Copies of this chain bind each other. A is one copy, B any other.
Amino acid sequence: MSAQPLKEVRIFSPATVANVACGFDVLGFCIDAPGDEIVARFSTTPGLRITKITGDDGRLPLDSKKNTAGVSAHALLRHLGKSDLGIEMEIHKKMPFGSGLGSSAASAVGGAFVVNRLLGDPLTRRQLLPFVVAGEAAADGAWHADNVGPCLLGGITLIRSNAELDVMDVPIPERLWAAVVHPDIVVLTKVAREIMPRHIQLETSTQQSGNLGGLLCGFFQSDYALIGRSLHDLIAEPHRQRLIPEFYRAKRAALAAGALGFSISGAGPSVFALCEGEAVARRAAAVRQRLRAGPVGFGAPERVRAARRASARTARSCDWPTRIGRPGTRR
């Protein structure tokens, strides 16, 4: 008589695009793929242990107190008074580091999310927010929710306040698609942060605010033309584009292909276009082909995904990409 295998849960935690041109540090959306997969199962050995990490080239710590996914899971378990519970965790990194696609946020969300699910969802997604933000803060030192927010809650989210973790769902226009391209270069988040000015002109702030307001109105009213008029970044893009060779050439090509707007995903080097319809998104993503001639070029991998209600969710399989536009489960 063999013992019943202990319960196991496997979840998928997707990539995210933060900033979204005019929403520096306050806006983000979730894409359908790529993303991390995390497995958790009960164990007879007390405490949380990370037993396996793949896809990280040996760069992530197995020590669960130092690992982003582990930190968020520990924070949740402490909150629940279950730190002694025996849990094994496997982390399968399936998205690049330092890509500007919220890799550490995906792990931070995944760690708490998978443990919460293993325990039968004692907390709602929103209640997990402080734990996943703490997890990401352990990785990059900053307390911000513009990646973990959309990764956890799905779709497009506005962060009214990072300090208060006041996070709002924003409606997604039916035909809104995102094309996300990851150039084959590495931009260190530290460098991308240091290149930003500490102060900006009041007039710049005003113009950026007008565009953020316009973008939100566009999302609420499914006004694609307004979304297009609003997708300008006067704050981060003028500085960070320097870290991405051929940025403006790619932008011109994406806009010529019909994209509503084009900018840098998070701290870069990934870039994204928002588009009306899948066909335009595919054309916009194809700019990487043309740019192979450039000094660095926009190489593989390239993903075209819907900015739909994807979010951290129970994985259907261990493979990615997942289907385009497949909504995640929500609660």
A: residues with CB less than 8 A from B are 23-27, 158-162, 164, 166, 168, 170, 196-202, 204-214, 216-217, 220, 226, 229-230, 235
Contact = CB atoms under 8 A, between A and B. Distances in A.
Given A24-B206, A160-B214, 12 more contacts: A24-B209, A26-B209, A26-B213, A27-B213, A159-B210, A166-B214, A168-B213, A170-B217, A200-B200, A200-B202, A205-B209, A212-B213
Contacts of A230: 160
Given A158-B214, A210-B162, A202 B199 contact: yes
B208 A205 contact: yes
A213 B23 CA distance: 9
A25 B198 CA distance: 22
B26 A217 contact: no
Nearest to A170: B217
Given A199-B202, A202-B199, A209 B208 contact: yes
A217 B198 CA distance: 28
10 contacts: A25-B206, A27-B213, A160-B214, A166-B210, A199-B201, A199-B202, A202-B235, A208-B209, A212-B212, A213-B213
